[in-house]
Amino acid sequence: MSYSKKTNKFPEFLRSKCLFLLVVMVSCSPPEEPVKCSTKNSNCTITNSYGTFADRAVCRAGNVAFPTTEQELVSIVSAATEAKRKMKVVTRFSHSIPKLVCPDGQDGLLISTKYLNHVLKVDAEAMAMTVESGVTLRQLINDAAKAGLALPYAPYWWGLTIGGLIGTGAHGSSLWGKGGSVHDYVMDMRIVSPAGPKEGYAKVRVLNERDKDLDAAKVSLGVLGVISQVTFKLQPLFKRSVTYVTKNDTDLGDEAMTFGKLHEFADIFWYPSQRKAVYRIDDRVSSNASGNGLYDFTPFRPILSLALALLRSTEETQESLRDADGKCLSAKLVTSTLRTAAYGLTNNGIKILLIAGIIFTGYPVIGFHDRLQSSGTCLDSIDDSLITACAWDPRIKGEFFHQTTFSIGLSVAKSFIEDVQKLVALEPKALCGLDLYNGILMRYVKASSAYLGKQEDAIDFDITYYRSKDPMAPRLYQDILEEIEQMALFKYGALPHWGKNRNLAFDGVIKKYKNGGEFLKVKNMYDPSELFSSEWTDQILGLRNGITTMKEGCALEGLCICSQDIHCAPSKGYLCRPGKTFQNARVCTRVKIRN
């Protein structure tokens, strides 16, 4: 079990459950390992926590190594460098959707950070904390809190590792301070990269805030080497007060511009087809304010597999019958349930399954930051029989989705929002499907000095929607979703989240980064033989063509933007057409066939 005795209260809980379950001959099983090997640690396949990469690539590696110390890590990188082997870092859960983790070929080396999971130093005086890169966000938050410290902004899901989340530029939501991205709170970093024979084929580079290289290493997509340790600048632990307010979305464009400046932890759930937006009014309060609130976000809780299967079957049926009304009905059910359950907030942390709404005594919810900033109790799912699981666990019939996630400069975000509203006016039911995944999550991020970080203050839009198990199956209102995706990327120059999205979002992406060239220089210096690079990382960094592939049905899963009908699904009536409001878009539209 990766959580140390001191880390938090869950191990006790887990241990007793596991013991109990052992008696009935079931063992304790959190999500599956992303790496599976046919012989001990060799001849491996690698996947992500959803069991499927954006383009459904099947990835293989020669073997996997599990260093437990930086010293072991150095000797592993050294041996592989001498042997000129391709390498990639794999984390305990592997949450990224693009195939960043895949080494080229069949016999690359995977270096797992599963056991590089120690908190090394917590300095309450200096308000700094040093962790190994495989430490999860959950561990970091808990250990910091024990020392009276806090990471001010973080992703909302605590199953991510430090190496993975900074490597892909992950963030929470804030325009305050240095903004919502975790990598902007990095003070020092130790990174192990290849070296020549004179240096023993590997070296540890120690970077601090005075090194320009740190701006490359912060969001480095795994191509500079293995991040071994990271030191964060923290703050004294504080309390927050959270209130959700639901309004119609008529003035969302204007509101979104100012809301993030008014509230430190502001974010917005937007349900465009319901014409509603839920504003999170969330600020620091005095630490003597009373309250011991807890945010255990409902969609990240363990969910009954039977319920997940039912929801998925319903959605599959709605998709196959093109039942837009059914989806809009489901959407209302989902969002009103979440709202009643206060999205998983409780005033005192007392959780009662299924009746969370009843014990919720109302807003505001006040509590310590560490109990509100992030969650993910489904990682503690306790049974091999998978009675409960994370909603997207590939071992059960559950959620399967695309995630289109991008940030749009604050100055033009209003115009983007209004463009989406125009589409909804044309096709009112088109975006009901998003609400089954709690709508569009809008979060604030700030310009970063990281070369591959945000280029300007922006709103990040997180859009999750149905993905068919069949890659050749078109989806309901596919055209509208594709138009929004292309409008964001091309009309508004949006930056895709490095750890999410479909392949097309990364076509030409490096041109959107003014210091992309600086990043490549550092990459050349750290790893001149490109052992940590792959075809995919070369493609997203603009060093190689071929991000999109034109073939039958390629637009259905975002492998291309259609230019001919065959890229859609002509036999099912989906043809390649211009967008409805963004004429430059090319989308798969269902053309009504007259009989």
Ligand X SMILES: Cc1cc2nc3c(=O)[nH]c(=O)nc-3n(C[C@H](O)[C@H](O)[C@H](O)COP(=O)(O)OP(=O)(O)OC[C@H]3O[C@@H](n4cnc5c(N)ncnc54)[C@H](O)[C@@H]3O)c2cc1C
For residue 154, what is the DSSP state? -
Instruction: Output the smallest distance, CB 242 to ligand X, in A.
Output: 16
Q: Is residue 221 within 8 Å of 540, Cβ to Cβ?
A: yes
**Residue nearer to ligand NAG on the CB measure, 17 or 247:** 247
Residue 156's binding partner out of ligand X, ligand NAG, none, with CB under 5 to 8 Å set by partner kind = ligand X
**Residue nearer to ligand X on the CB measure, 296 or 483:** 296
**Residue nearer to ligand X on the CB measure, 318 or 373:** 373
Query: If residue 143 lies in a helix (H) or strand (E), which one and from where to where?
Result: helix 137-146
The region of 39-47, 222-230, 414-422, 554-562 touching ligand X under the rule CB under 6 A is 222-230
Q: Is residue 323 within 8 Å of 268, Cβ to Cβ?
A: no
- How many residues in the chain? 595
Q: Which two tokens stand for residue 315?
A: 């959605």
Residue 287's binding partner out of ligand NAG, ligand X, none, with CB under 5 to 8 Å set by partner kind = none
User: Any contact of residue 35 with ligand X (CB under 6 A)?
Assistant: no
- Encode burial over 207-245: b for 16+ CB neighbours within 10 A, e otherwise: beeeeebbbbbbbbbbbbbbbbbbbbbbbebebbbbbbe
d(CA 308, CA 593): 35
**Residue nearer to ligand X on the CB measure, 155 or 409:** 155
Pairing of the two strands 239-248 and 276-285: antiparallel
- Considering only residues 18 through 77, tell me which ones interact with ligand NAG, judged by CB under 6 A: 38-39, 43, 45
| Interaction mask 275-294, ligand NAG, x per CB under 6 A | -----------x-xx-----
How big is the site for ligand NAG, counted in residues (CB under 6 A)?
10
First to last CA, the chain: 62
Residue 250's binding partner out of ligand X, ligand NAG, none, with CB under 5 to 8 Å set by partner kind = ligand NAG
- Considering only residues 215 through 254, tell me which ones interact with ligand NAG, judged by CB under 6 A: 247-248, 250
Residue nearest to ligand X (CB): 164
Residue 163's binding partner out of ligand NAG, ligand X, none, with CB under 5 to 8 Å set by partner kind = ligand X
User: Any contact of residue 222 with ligand X (CB under 6 A)?
Assistant: yes
DSSP string, 11-43: HHHHHHHHHHHHHTT-----SPPSEEEEETTEE
> Pick from 87, 119, 144, 170: which binds ligand X (CB under 6 A)?
170
The region of 65-73, 83-91, 481-489, 571-579 touching ligand X under the rule CB under 6 A is 83-91
Q: In Å, what is the CA distance from 161 to each residue of 52, 210, 220, 354?
A: 19, 25, 14, 30
User: Any contact of residue 91 with ligand X (CB under 6 A)?
Assistant: yes
Within 10 angstroms of residue 197's Cβ, the number of other Cβ atoms is: 8
- Helix locations, 499-590, DSSP H: 516-526, 535-540
d(CA 18, CA 418): 51
Residue 39's binding partner out of ligand X, ligand NAG, none, with CB under 5 to 8 Å set by partner kind = ligand NAG
Residue 38's binding partner out of ligand NAG, ligand X, none, with CB under 5 to 8 Å set by partner kind = ligand NAG
85-89-93-97 Cα dihedral, nearest 10 degrees? -90
Binding region for ligand X (CB under 6 A): 49, 88-89, 91, 93-96, 100-101, 113, 133, 155-157, 160-161, 163-165, 167-168, 170-171, 221-222, 226-227, 497, 499-500
Per CB under 6 A, residues contacting ligand NAG are 38-39, 43, 45, 247-248, 250, 286, 288-289
